[in-house]
Amino acid sequence: MPLVSMRQLLDEAAKGGYGVGAFNVNNMEQIQAIMMAAKETKSPVIVQASRGARKFAEDLYLFKLIQAAAELNPEIPIAMHQDHGNSFETCESAIALGYTSVMMDGSLKADGKTPATFEENVAITKQVVDYAHERGVTVEGEIGVLGGVEDGHGAGGSGLDHITDPDQAVEFAERTGVDALAIAIGTSHGAYKFTSKPDGSVLKMDVLIKIHKYLPNTHLVMHGSSSVPKELQDIINQYGGKLNPTWGVPVEEIQLGIKNGVRKINVDTDNRLAITVFVETPEKFDPRDYMKPAREAMAKVVAQRMTQFGQASHAGDYKPVSIEEIAKGYKNGSLVTKPLVSK
């Protein structure tokens, strides 16, 4: 099966009332772990790469690995997504490679650190939408700014510094025509999200619910949504790691989000923790001896998330539509890009 449209994956998730995990990758073992989990749970999946991942692995290596995953698992719908594109050129290069979805994170300037103005965000996101939709490629935008920094991207600070304004979210969706909208509700990039289990004072689920009420047919995205399980932290520290106590986003809060319009959930830190290699048998130096259990550990976490997000068992629900057909749908208006607003 060729790589499929993320728009179709999210549209089908909306029909089924479930979310789809978007899992970041940097190398072959991570891709294999995600596909092991997708095959086990019969889940559609979004595989995504940051700018840092593309640089680390080299573009063609990484993309060919994703193509191999699609060929080896023809029963699994896979969308390939550019995570946190910082410019038109970044998104354009991903589309040229064959990515079926891109994120234009215009909430930050091209340096990936400085918050942009609302008008700057609208302008650059609309430019990417026009270009991508002509080619059948899905576009995710962001309004509001997440806290923290990961992979060289992020404004730093608290997740509460730039919470999404629901009225701006409506205007942004209407003016850009994005397929998916990432919002800031208090989450942050990286492992160190919260110093205690988050509650309503730091995780603004009421804002998410209000945005969904205003934009009932817009696919919402939760970034910074790793749960950072204590058991993974404990394993790392048991073998000499030095992780400070930290809390991620509780799965039950993500599930509440899914009930209120969240269709894409970004997970990276949990997988990084799971695949981090700590050697129980230090006499073994063959990478296969330690990468195999590391890969299996990550696959276990991904399968668990797929089940919790509700995407498990939905891989065979629908026949993938070609990217060429998606492009025709954008052009003739049968694939709606302007949101239904309910205010």
User: Among all residues, which ones are annotated catalytic?
Assistant: 83
Give yes or no for a contact between 28 and 56, defined as CB atoms under 8 angstroms apart.
no
Only one residue has tokens 């205010």, namely 343
Q: Which residues contact 133 (CB under 8 A, 6 or more apart)?
A: 139, 177, 327, 330, 331, 337
Distance of CA 334 to the CA centre of its chain: 26
DSSP 145: B
- 3-state SS track over 52-81: HHHHHHCHHHHHHHHHHHHHHCCCCCEEEE
Which 3 state secondary structure label does DSSP give 196?
coil
- Of 200, 276, 218, the closest CA to residue 29 belongs to 276
By CB atoms closer than 10 A (0-12, 13-18, 19+), residue 244 is: exposed
Give yes or no for a contact between 271 and 33, defined as CB atoms under 8 angstroms apart.
yes
Distance of CA 6 to the CA centre of its chain: 11
Q: Which residues contact 272 (CB under 8 A, 6 or more apart)?
A: 191
Give yes or no for a contact between 96 and 132, defined as CB atoms under 8 angstroms apart.
no
Distance of CA 35 to the CA centre of its chain: 16
Give the span between the Cα atoms of 46 and 5, in whole angstroms: 10
Strand segments, DSSP code E, in the chain are 20-24, 45-49, 78-85, 101-104, 138-143, 180-183, 219-222, 262-267
